[in-house]
Amino acid sequence: MNRTILPGATIGVLGSGQLGRMFAIAARRMGYRVHTFSPDSDTPTGQVSDYEYNASYDDLEAVSSFAKGVSIVTFEFENVPTATVEAASQYAPVRPSGMVLHTTQHRLREKKFLSKAGFPVVPYRHICSIEDLQRAVEEIGYPSVLKTAGFGYDGKGQSKIRVKEDIVIAYETLGGQEAVLEAFIDFECEVSVVAARSLYGDFAHYGVIKNEHHNHILDVSVSPATLAPEIIKQAIDISCSLLETIDVVGVMCVEFFVTKQGKLLINELAPRPHNSGHFTFDACLTSQFEQQLRAVCGLPLGSTELLKPAAMANLLGEIWQAGEPNWMAAYRFPNVKVHVYGKLEARRGRKMGHLTALADSSSEAEQLVRIARNKLEERN
């Protein structure tokens, strides 16, 4: 059976945020139609799609109707219920698979998978009760980080435990949810590898990207990362092996801590295009979004060649608090690309867009993108 899906076909996207928007732009440029499904309307993805389904992910009848109208289903965020993916898979292939989604959308399942497969992970314990937490803190020590097991992102559902008195307070914030306690890592830096695996097992990657976070939200990403060659090789090798082991078809981001001793520890997995890979839209021959499309449609993977060193800076809702950003100030930088996601309301901590800067070196690109973002906040 020919599993290749060619231009002219319709791609279904579960989710409707900025990742889906950039995926839809890549898909439509290559001649595909795009349908998106989410509970919201006039969404970043819906604004550039051919059709926008508005229904709850729990409305399995609506999900089935959506899946009947497409040739393939993919997703742009991992917090899609398993039942939704199962319903869609009755009528169209889902790539990456529901198994990949099920594993990576839940911290405990993800860490158990990684540990069992021999990948380097942060020390952790499973938490179901206050007694579990007290015992785990004794074993792992202070400081440590308590995280909800499911449906967490951008630092949501996390509490740092610095002293004994924090234990009860942290546990109460869970509201009875299952959790994971992790050792706090005093890391040198955070990096990621955005990689893709094709339907036929071919592998491509975008090198190692250095990431800086602010208030648990990605702030700036720089490519290529300036790290020791052996760390770069190890991060890529681990990512390649991981995508093979979990049998990903599509794009996956592997996030790492680099410890002060030069050791790599996997922090999280994201089975879809990733915020740290946004620079590829402007700086690579094949963006992570086109690569996702190529992979799930059974096409050959594209070249990931980096045309110039690049840096990406997120634009959060705070920039809008004093009014509309000074867009002209950013547009005056000829080597800076402006991306705005079309979200209807700017809120603190909400990702509203990003800037990408291209330069002759990583450090120059990072400096340029930070300057350009600062200019957005200089009102006339």
pLDDT tops 90 at residue 213: yes
Crossing angle (nearest 10°) for helices 18-29 and 288-296? 70
Contact between 29 and 11 under an 8 Å Cβ cutoff? The reply is no
Q: What are 14's two structure tokens?
A: 């579960």
Q: Is residue 107 part of a domain?
A: no
Quick one: 251 and 353 in the same domain? yes
Interval 293-351: pLDDT, tens:
999 999 999 999 999 999 999 999 999 998 999 999 999 999 999 999 999 999 999 99
Same domain, 198 and 167: no
Do residues 212 and 239 share a domain?
Answer: yes
Residue 333's domain spans which residues?
A: 187-376
Q: Torsion over CA of 66, 105, 94 and 36, rounded to 10 degrees? A: 30
- For residue 287, the model assigns a pLDDT of 98
Is 108 domain-assigned? no
Are residues 307 and 295 located together in one domain of the fold?
yes
Residue type, 184: F
Extract the tokens encoding 121: 């992970």
Within a domain: 351? yes
Determine, yes or no, domain membership for 115: no
Within a domain: residue 118? no
Query: Which residue in this structure is represented by tokens 């300036």?
Result: 226
User: Can you tell me the mean pLDDT for 142-166?
Assistant: 82
- Judge whether 312 lies within some domain: yes
Closest CA to 55 of 41, 44, 70: 41
Per-residue pLDDT at 154 exceeds 60: no
Burial of 164 (0-12, 13-18, 19+ CB in 10 A): exposed
Q: What percent of the chain has pLDDT over 90?
A: 89
CATH of the domain at 247: 3.30.470.20
CB 105 within 8 A of CB 151: yes
Residue 319 shares a structural domain with residue 339: yes
Residues 248 and 332 in one domain: yes
User: Looking at residue 162, which CATH number applies to its domain?
Assistant: 3.30.1490.20
Residue 1's pLDDT is 44
Question: CA torsion angle for 19, 24, 25, 27 (degrees, to 10)?
Answer: 130
> In the structure encoding, which two tokens stand for residue 95, read together?
């790539």
What is the pTM assigned to this prediction?
Answer: 0.94
- Checking if the pLDDT of 2 tops 70, the result is no
CATH code, 75: 3.40.50.20
Give yes or no: residues 89 and 143 share one domain.
Answer: no
Residue 315 and residue 235 in one domain: yes
User: What pLDDT, in 10s, does the model give residues 21-31?
Assistant: 999 999 999 99
Residue with tokens 């946004």, as numbered in its chain: 278
Residues 139 and 284 grouped into a single domain? no
* Count: domains in the chain: 3
Helix (H, G, I), strand (E, B) or coil at 246: helix
